[in-house]
Amino acid sequence: MNKVLLVDDEVFVRKGLRNLIDWPSLGYEVAAEADNGEEALAAIESEKPDLVVTDIRMPVLDGLDLIRTVTERQKSTPTFIIVSGYHEFKYAQQALRYGVHDYILKPIDENELTATLKKLCGRLRLRKWTRSGKAGEGSVPVLDLLAQEDIAPEDEPEFAAALGMEQSYRFVYILAEYADASAGDVLTALGLPYHESLPGHFGVLADSAKLAGFGGSIESFLGELQSKLPARPGCSVALYAGRCVERIGSVKESALTALEASQYKYAYDGEPYILYDHVRDKPLNHLHVDSQLHARLLEQIEENNRAACESTIGEMFREFQTRILAPKAVASALSRCVIGIVRVIREMGGDECRLPSLHATIEGMQPNQGLKALKEMFSQFVIEAAEYVALLRQEQAKSGIHQIRKYIEQHFTENISLKSISAKFYMNPVYLGQLFKKTYNIYFNEFVLDLRIQEAKKLLRQTDLRMYEVAQKVGFQNADYFVTQFEKLEKMTPTEYRNKLLGNK
């Protein structure tokens, strides 16, 4: 924030200035107030403001004397704006002679003062950075300002000097996506002003002097720049050049168009660089991909059909390119798939955090990933998800067959069959029979028969029920069939079993 000192002998004027302008939104903070020039001198010494907004007519020391005194006493002076009710030309002349930035008449027009403060903000920040002694340490604050703010023509020489460039040259802003720690060293070695706008995103400024070494060709310059930023495993290089501008004060326009060029990164994946002038007339699509592809992929994941999944992913990524989808649209389409996969896993009682590539996939959907790398990462996630869903299905099947066994143990005395139970649990009877045998190493009918015979033996031991009554109670409709099956398993008839318990031969 730029620090501001308000100077006026009328307190309501100072309070009015405080409330009239939204200082923080313009990059300023009101650090102090003074009601005369002498107090203002002390405040300038203690607060070291970047900007002083002062009236002319004040007691003790008027505004012009204040400015003259500060200019004579201090090597590093703040910028001054005069706010006065006097229209006389001689005051304006004196103000200009002292290097006053602006002379604004009372009553103050909010829009006029706001416009002045906006234009001044960049100059103040640049001046503060230059005075800090860090001018030789890089060009970050200067390029930050140039890329984000409109620079007034009168301030251009200062910006050009800070970057060691001619203000009248041709300029092009280049956005370089290169997530490698060596990027700054490479750009410094090439003598290129740069700043890191986001992690792994470098803004680079080239002028006519730099391009002259490449025959004035931006393409040749970009090719050389890319060769100096070699691709490494997990670290690709992508360059996007904005529109050429004729003034250093117009670099913001070039930066905005470089950002716009980067929106075509997936449509032109594999190209060494993208120029805004080559893509500006191409329609950029922000819509989702075909919902049928999304639904098909989820179905193939549930089926654990790896080949089909890979085919659908290939079709999806081809659509990203042919439809010229913006990076956010691609991220949105992939996020939709990830959310759908996570929902399937949760519905099956699983935990998506067990997928090793989940976090990397979510992180990789940020628009600093090349399309090829993004496809490989997403494919790995899908294959992992398909295998996990298959595992969950197996666990579900095991859980389901245990429930079926429990049901059989509770209802074996009823008229149950493989067909009736499979219908109850919505399963194919053949599959149920196979699953039961695989899980318990016994056929369904044998398991039911053994339950019934064991229950019959219990009744024979504990009751004096007749044989046909025992048969009915354990689920046999025919007493003779009960006797036959009992003898088959126990090698004796039910009567012989009971007599043996009574000690009868």
SS3 384: helix
Sign of CA dihedral 461, 467, 473, 478: positive
Q: Model-level pTM?
A: 0.60
What tens digit of pLDDT does each residue of 84-122 get?
Answer: 876 655 666 677 677 788 888 888 888 889 988 887 877
Backbone angles phi, psi at 102, to 5 degrees: -155, 160
- The confidence band for 403, taking pLDDT boundaries of 50, 70 and 90, is confident
SS3 232: strand
The C-alpha atoms of residue 288 and residue 295 are separated, in whole angstroms, by 13
Tell how far CA 455 is from the center of its chain. Answer: 64
Strands 2-7 and 51-54: parallel
DSSP β-bridge partners for residue 30: 4
Task: Return the pLDDT at 87.
Answer: 65
The neighbour count for residue 321, using CB atoms within 10 Å, is 15
- The confidence band for 135, taking pLDDT boundaries of 50, 70 and 90, is very low
The C-alpha atoms of residue 432 and residue 316 are separated, in whole angstroms, by 38
Q: What spatial distance separates the first Cα and last Cα of the chain, rounded to whole Å? A: 109
**DSSP 8-state symbol, 233:** T
Q: Which residue type is seen at 48? A: K
- Average pLDDT across the chain, whole number: 85
Residue 134 has pLDDT above 50, yes or no: no
What tens digit of pLDDT does each residue of 256-284 get?
Answer: 999 999 999 888 887 889 999 999 999 88
Do residues 76 and 44 lie in contact, with contact meaning Cβ atoms separated by under 8 Å?
A: no
- The confidence band for 293, taking pLDDT boundaries of 50, 70 and 90, is confident
Task: Return the pLDDT at 365.
Answer: 67
- The confidence band for 366, taking pLDDT boundaries of 50, 70 and 90, is low
Do residues 392 and 341 lie in contact, with contact meaning Cβ atoms separated by under 8 Å?
A: no
Q: Which residue type is seen at 398? A: K
The C-alpha atoms of residue 222 and residue 172 are separated, in whole angstroms, by 11
Task: Return the pLDDT at 133.
Answer: 47
The C-alpha atoms of residue 178 and residue 226 are separated, in whole angstroms, by 10
Mean pLDDT to the nearest integer, 359-364: 78
